[in-house]
Amino acid sequence: MNMPNLSSPLPYANDLAASPAASVLHVRIAVKELGIAPAHLIWSCASVEPTSFADAPDWVGVLRFGGRPVPVIDLRVRYGLPAASPGPLSRTLILNVDDHWIGVVVDEVFGLIELRCDDLRPFPGRDVVDETEFITGLCQRVRDDVPHTVILVDIARLIGSDALARIAAFTASSEPGLVPV
């Protein structure tokens, strides 16, 4: 079977006929369900409160993972949603985004879902250049007998290149005493 190269974020979303099938990591943040290319995933663990550090935005903390400091982004706060305490389903995903290890907090991980070309739909607001530029497509999934729209995202764009640069600078100057994962 001709599988897409998932080392680049969701290449099939821009050209729905590019390949017969692909997988995405299906997660939830607040009421939004997202699909992230699984090639970005390094590790998933129960969410813990990251350490905050001086001059970092309120949506960035840091954990120690694999002996190195890893910035953790609270995507809820980053995008103007109310912060939430980690719950029993919350996970911190350690991702490789543009050769940076980044943690993102999600409210729930549903697992990997396989998408076929006929599952995918283009994002209808594609000609609108604003905060939706990270959306690469949509798909419909049925869970618990209820249809759900999964928003396929380019995780690097979701985090934002400006944020990646700021986070790299903060992490480089972070202090010891971080919460280990």
Q: Of 49, 36, 50, 54, whose CA–CA distance to 135 is shortest? A: 36
Let me know: does 159 contact 102? Beta carbons within 8 Å: yes
Q: Of 19, 132, 160, 159, whose CA–CA distance to 75 is shortest? A: 159
Read off the pTM: 0.75
Q: What is the tens place of the pLDDT at every residue in 27-74?
A: 999 988 999 988 889 998 888 888 887 777 788 888 888 888 888 988
Which amino acid type is present at position 91? R
DSSP code of residue 129 = -
C-alpha 172/C-alpha 28 separation (Å) is 30
Q: What is the tens place of the pLDDT at every residue in 90-101?
A: 999 999 988 888
CATH architecture, range 18-180: Beta Barrel (2.40)
Tokens matching residue 27: 């997660």
Tokens matching residue 87: 């719950």
The position carrying tokens 């050209």 is 15
Question: Residues 148-167: what's their mean pLDDT?
Answer: 82
